[in-house]
Structure 1
Amino acid sequence: MEASSTLTTVFLPIALAIVMFGLGLHLTVADFTRVAKVPKAALLALGTQILVLPAVCLGLVLAFDLDPVLAVGMMLLAASPGGTTANIFSHLAGGDVALNITLTAINSVLAVVTLPVVVNLSIAGFLDADTAIGLQPAKMLQVFAIVLVPVAIGMVVRRRWPEFAERMTRPVKIASVVVLAAVIVGAMVAERENLLDYLRSVGLVSLLLVVCSLGLGYAVPRLARVEPRQAIASSFEVGIHNSTLAITIALSPALLDNATMAVPAAVYGVVMFIPAAIVAYWVGGRRRAAVSRT
């Protein structure tokens, strides 16, 4: 069943614009240049997110023999950048939130290129040529617009009116949570006839993707001897994806226009909070214990 026209043409763009505008309110030009101060941690986190994670997601999709359209939806989710939720969990766990902000900023820009590449390759691999739909150059420009334009506006507001930006931080954050929940509900309602089947199909895969993402995001930097706070930031940046962006791209008539492809991101948007909260509590507890011993 296709998503309703109101959801896809009105509510979704507004929802994503609020989320990305809220991200922009937290960003400055320095957030993009800060990577020069921690190049090792930043490059490892970005490499894990852009290169390793799609490969892991592909392995999970193949291992569980997902329906081809759901498989594309999972790959779309894996290619989506992190978001402000990652910053919140990183803060709770004692991570380097400044690094989170930097990674989110850079990855949001890179995703304009990397996300269409992953989606198009996934469509070519999982769907028949006759039914393939993709993010062609014109559509990639639309991805650029929906991802970066609201972020740029938020950054301009922060630069011109910093006090207003600070006052707006909490309301926009609350609005982001509300619209994310509404988008997830909307996507599930659009596919309500098949919802239980989809939950059985992608629920476990989504949960495993979160666990693998959080684990790899922490383990790869630590194996390279990156300090713990930066590894924690990497863990949540790699592990928590912008499911709103994935849902919007899947449902938007101008992009993929496929409600089934939005299901993995909708399911993920619900299940991700459990492992993320467990990891934040456990890592945060260990860090507090380590600090108290010193």
Structure 2
Amino acid sequence: MEASLLSQVILPLSLFIIMWGLGLSLTLQDFKRVLHQPKAAVIGIVCQMLMLPIVGFAIIQLFNLSGELAVGLMLLTFCPGGVTSNMYSYLARGDTALSISLTAVVSVLTPFTIPLLTLLMMQNFMSEAQQFDLPIGTTMMQLLVITVLPVGLGMAIHHKWPLFSAKAEKPIKIVSVVFLFLIIAGIIAKEWTNMASFFLQTGFATLCLNLATLGLGYYIALLLKLNKPQAKTIAIEVGIQNGTLALMIAGSILQSTLMTVPAITYSLIMFATGGGFCILINRNKPSL
């Protein structure tokens, strides 16, 4: 598989389909629920949009990452939630409605925040000679087309053909996870000789990011008096990132192999740690 085919066609198309599948599961009620349950939603959004990047920045300092690797890790923190987090929230017996609502809101916000924050990180971690061209307006439009537009299409189909949406929602979510596996597999196949180096460079950093945000999200939610299902969901929404989106931006828009490295190692790690979190948090509970 050619790198250009993977990064320029397959990755954006896969993300479009994943976000369309997300839209099939959404209604306007999912957005309104944020207003009806403001405490849990506000805590979740603040943790995703503020705490997550702060933890990422601290980990960059701890592991002394620099240049494109540092920007790639921060880019990952700018892409919270996604279909995968909804799946893990369900498996953990969290508040799935809250998970879907948080994903809905963040999916609308991030096309505007990601380009601005990524540009700021490039200015902070990279010299002028190293920096990539990132036209803010064009990048926002690209992200809107690849994320918000398919979500809107999915919601429109859900509204007009609810029976079709109900039948298609689960298979498309499964396909979404398979897409992520295939994308990672394609990148690993292309970069096989470099995988050991990738994990040496960012493996421990992305593992710490994953574990730290899962733990902080959970205990901050409990500390602020949310119930246990809500705490599980916020932990997962903060701790399980949208690796597909981060890969697409780094590989397709910025066309930087190094910036994809944190997303690659993180995406491989999070499947194991996310599953482990679900098992740990539900120990001694009856199975589904």
- TM-score in terms of structure 2 length: 0.94
Q: Distance in 2 between matches of 1:190 and 1:120?
A: 27
Residues 1:7 and 1:74: Cα distance change in structure 2 (over 3 Å): same
Which residue matches 2:24?
A: 25
Residues 1:179 and 1:59: Cα distance change in structure 2 (over 3 Å): same
1:260 aligns with 2:258: yes
Q: Distance in 2 between matches of 1:222 and 1:194?
A: 41
Letter in 2 for 1:13: P
Which residue matches 1:35?
A: 34
Q: Distance in 2 between matches of 1:168 and 1:68?
A: 42
CA-to-partner distance for each residue in 1:17-69, whole Å, 9 max, x for gaps?
11111111110011011011211111111101111110111111121112411
Which residue matches 1:281?
A: 279
More deviation, 86-95/199-208: 86-95
Q: Secondary structure of the equivalent of 2:282?
A: helix
Which residue matches 2:119?
A: 120
Residues 1:286 and 1:218: Cα distance change in structure 2 (over 3 Å): farther
Instruction: Please say if residues 116 and 136 of structure 2, whose CA atoms lie closer than 8 Å, have aligned partners that are also in contact.
Output: no
Which residue matches 1:98?
A: 97
The CA RMSD over aligned residues, in Å, is: 1.7
Residues 1:43 and 1:135: Cα distance change in structure 2 (over 3 Å): farther
Which residue matches 1:218?
A: 218
1:250 aligns with 2:250: yes
- TM-score in terms of structure 1 length: 0.92
CA-to-partner distance for each residue in 1:251-280, whole Å, 9 max, x for gaps?
11xx21112211211111110122211221
1:45 aligns with 2:22: no
Q: Secondary structure of the equivalent of 1:264?
A: helix
Which residue matches 1:228?
A: 228
Q: Distance in 1 between matches of 2:135 and 2:272?
A: 32
Q: Distance in 1 between matches of 2:135 and 2:11?
A: 18
1:66 aligns with 2:65: yes
Q: Distance in 2 between matches of 1:99 and 1:287?
A: 21
Letter in 2 for 1:177: V
Q: How many corresponding residue pairs? A: 285
Q: Distance in 2 between matches of 1:274 and 1:181?
A: 13
Residues 1:135 and 1:47: Cα distance change in structure 2 (over 3 Å): farther
Which residue matches 1:13?
A: 12
Instruction: Please say if residues 83 and 176 of structure 2, whose CA atoms lie closer than 8 Å, have aligned partners that are also in contact.
Output: no
Q: Distance in 2 between matches of 1:244 and 1:49?
A: 17
What's the % identity of the aligned pairs? 39
Residues 1:67 and 1:194: Cα distance change in structure 2 (over 3 Å): farther
Q: Distance in 1 between matches of 2:224 and 2:187?
A: 40
Pairwise CA distance, 1:170: 2.6
Instruction: Please say if residues 23 and 155 of structure 2, whose CA atoms lie closer than 8 Å, have aligned partners that are also in contact.
Output: yes
Q: Secondary structure of the equivalent of 1:285?
A: coil
Which residue matches 2:170?
A: 170
Q: Secondary structure of the equivalent of 2:225?
A: coil
